[in-house]
Amino acid sequence: MSTIEALRTEPDDPGLTAVVVEGRIVSVVPTHEIELLGLSVGHLWDEATEARVQHSLLVDRARREALILLADGSAEHELTGQLHTQGHTFTAIADAMQHLYTDGWLTAPPPAVQNLESDS
């Protein structure tokens, strides 16, 4: 089993931190989620940890895209469809929308993932 050797803030984007395992960057994660994900130097890097990190990154990407869409004038009710059209998964979209709602960017709570999938 491998362990995390280092967590390095990305020089081009301090909001992202690189996860180093066996001398190479295996992923990047939103810096604000390092603690939430339980990542630290010496932490076991296994399939479950990798899956949590990858999901976190997908959610962060969807969140960033949603903020861009909002800044460009998209309506809240259009975001899910627009993000899905851009290739984001419904699970990542739902989690990103929940973050946006919690942070005050959206006025209405997002629908459940099951509701999103039935709309496709």
Hey, where are the domains in the chain?
1-45, 55-120
Spatial CA neighbour of 113 closest among 95, 86, 88: 95
Q: What is the pLDDT of residue 117?
A: 52
Q: Which 3-state string (H, E, C) describes the chain?
A: CEEEEEEEEECCEEEEEEEEECCEEEEEEEHHHCCCCCCCCCCEECHHHHHHHHHHHHHHHHHHHHHHHHHCCCCHHHHHHHHHHCCCCHHHHHHHHHHHHHCCCCCCCCCCHHHHHHCC
This prediction has a pTM of: 0.78
**pLDDT over 50 (residue 119):** no
What pLDDT is recorded for position 1?
A: 77
Which pLDDT tens digit goes with each residue over 47-87?
999 999 999 889 989 999 999 999 999 999 999 999 999 99
